[in-house]
Amino acid sequence: MRRFSVLLTVGFLHIFLVSCGDKNIREVSKETAGRPVAIKVGVASVTKGKRTHKAPGTVKSLTVAPLASKIMGTVMEVRVRAGDHVRKGQLLVQLDSREPEAMVQKSEAGLQEAKLALQEIDKSLEANQLNLKLATSTLKRYEELASQKSISPQEFDEIRTRQQSAAASLEALEARKQQIEARVRQAESDVRSVQALRSYTQIVSPMDGVVMERHAEPGMLAAPGMSLLSVEDSGHYRLEVSVEESKIAGLKTGQAIPLKLDSLRPPELKGSIAEIQPSADPMSRSFLVKISFPSRRELRSGMYGEAFFDAGVTKGIWIQPGGIIRQGQLEGVYVLGKDNRIRLRLLKLGEITDHGIEVLSGLEGGETYVTQLGPDLYDGCLVEVSR
């Protein structure tokens, strides 16, 4: 197994050299083989440095509103397309409103009729109140005359009956008024209901934002709950990243976090932790962290971003990026040997920090490496260190 691993490493190194276009020492002419190439070098020393943990994530809007129809109706007009910026209250989709409009007119007519009936009953009540007042005062005068034996009992009974009839009529009209008032309230409720139904024929934007999806087209039949458009808040975005449970303890809401979104220019942003999900994903054992940052017009949900968390200070080897050789997924440097020749060394690199690029494996402390590449350098090249 160990022999297979060694052979595999040698194979990768050979592919790396061929793909990089480096010369092989055996291919160097006799005229140039003995001429050393001047190089600049650095020493890989073990030092303390600040380590950063990079967490990839996805940009998401704080609010995404799917707009659906609440009624059955034909789509008459769609005024926006995906990608359009919209304002709060802006009309986006118009459904067929002819039937709801007719219902509104009918209910408003019923309300008007009920209000006219209420006006008529108020007039009748006013007249009956005057009639009762007259009948009551007349009854009082006849009571005095009856006590003096000035009128017959029959005349007194007639006056008292008229007063009682006027009181009964007034009571009946008051009951009738209550019925008409109830009818007016019912008619007003019907008007509000059909007006709300009519408003459902107009799909408006609930916020300032961007149309992300358009499913509605003129002529199609919209059903209740059917998605027509999707609008997201373009003023508030967050970067959602997954953080391992071993690194979550050092995070808290409000903490400043450097971000990088490659789709922006410049890509660097300053964010702050807005929310940390209280429970971990049982599959990945990671926590969802939401980081807010200043909005930019070109932002959209689904964009890729990276958050950089402070992972503390640790000992390690950091080298300068000018000497890194890259080909595909392979990375390496030229290491200076005791025979004044350089040899290509494959490396496993970590994060880029203020100290340089962290070397996770492939280079030992104290080794000398080339810090600046040149066209004359190749594996096995004879060199001299320039002062």
Alpha-carbon span 218 to 201, nearest angstrom? 13
pLDDT grade, residue 266 (50/70/90)?
confident
Q: Are residues 87 and 102 in the same domain?
A: no
Residues with Cβ within 8 Å of residue 133, at least 6 apart in sequence: none
Q: What share of the chain is helix, strand, coil (3-state, %, to 5)?
A: 35, 35, 30
Residue where the block lists tokens 């009551």: 136
Beta strand pairing status for 227-233 and 64-68? antiparallel
Write down the pLDDT at residue 19. 47
What is the pLDDT of the chain when averaged over all its residues?
A: 83
Q: Are residues 106 and 189 in the same domain?
A: yes
| Domain hosting residue 219, numbered range | 64-96+201-232
Residue where the block lists tokens 């030229």: 334
Write down the pLDDT at residue 25. 36
Q: What is the pLDDT of residues 302-330, one digit of tens each?
A: 889 998 887 766 777 878 888 888 888 88
Q: What is the pLDDT of residues 76-88, one digit of tens each?
A: 999 999 988 899 9
Query: Of all residues in the chain, what percent carry a pLDDT higher than 90?
Result: 22
Q: Are residues 271 and 211 in the same domain?
A: no
Of 15-19, 32-36, 128-132, the least confident? 15-19
Three-class secondary structure of residue 207 per DSSP: coil
The amino acid sitting at 133 is K
Cα–Cα–Cα angle for 334, 339, 340, rounded to 5 degrees: 50
Alpha-carbon span 379 to 332, nearest angstrom? 11
pLDDT grade, residue 7 (50/70/90)?
very low
> Is the per-residue pLDDT at 53 higher than 60?
yes
Q: Which two tokens stand for residue 177?
A: 């008024």
pLDDT grade, residue 289 (50/70/90)?
very high
Q: Are residues 92 and 222 in the same domain?
A: yes
Write down the pLDDT at residue 354. 67
Q: Are residues 112 and 187 in the same domain?
A: yes
pLDDT grade, residue 3 (50/70/90)?
very low
Domain containing residue 84: CATH number:
2.40.50.100
Q: Are residues 269 and 334 in the same domain?
A: no
Beta strand pairing status for 383-385 and 37-39? parallel
Q: Are residues 130 and 195 in the same domain?
A: yes
Residues with Cβ within 8 Å of residue 245, at least 6 apart in sequence: 280, 285, 286, 287
Alpha-carbon span 258 to 125, nearest angstrom? 78
Q: Which two tokens stand for residue 229?
A: 């458009």
Q: Which of 199, 224, 244 is the last residue of a domain?
A: 199
Query: Of all residues in the chain, what percent carry a pLDDT higher than 70?
Result: 88
Q: Are residues 75 and 218 in the same domain?
A: yes
Are 338 and 378 contacting, i.e. CB atoms less than 8 angstroms apart? no
Q: Are residues 219 and 364 in the same domain?
A: no
What average pLDDT does range 183-193 have in this prediction? 90
Of 103-117, 142-156, 268-282, the least confident? 142-156
Q: Are residues 207 and 192 in the same domain?
A: no
Alpha-carbon span 240 to 88, nearest angstrom? 26
Name which residue leads in pLDDT, 353 or 260: 260
Of 89-93, 170-174, 218-222, the least confident? 170-174
Alpha-carbon span 327 to 19, nearest angstrom? 7
> Is the per-residue pLDDT at 70 higher than 50?
yes
Q: Which of 69, 364, 70 is nearest to 78 (CA)?
A: 69
Alpha-carbon span 162 to 148, nearest angstrom? 21
Q: Which of 229, 180, 181 is nearest to 205 (CA)?
A: 229
Question: Number of folded domains in the chain?
Answer: 4
Write down the pLDDT at residue 343. 92
What average pLDDT does range 45-53 have in this prediction? 73
The amino acid sitting at 75 is V
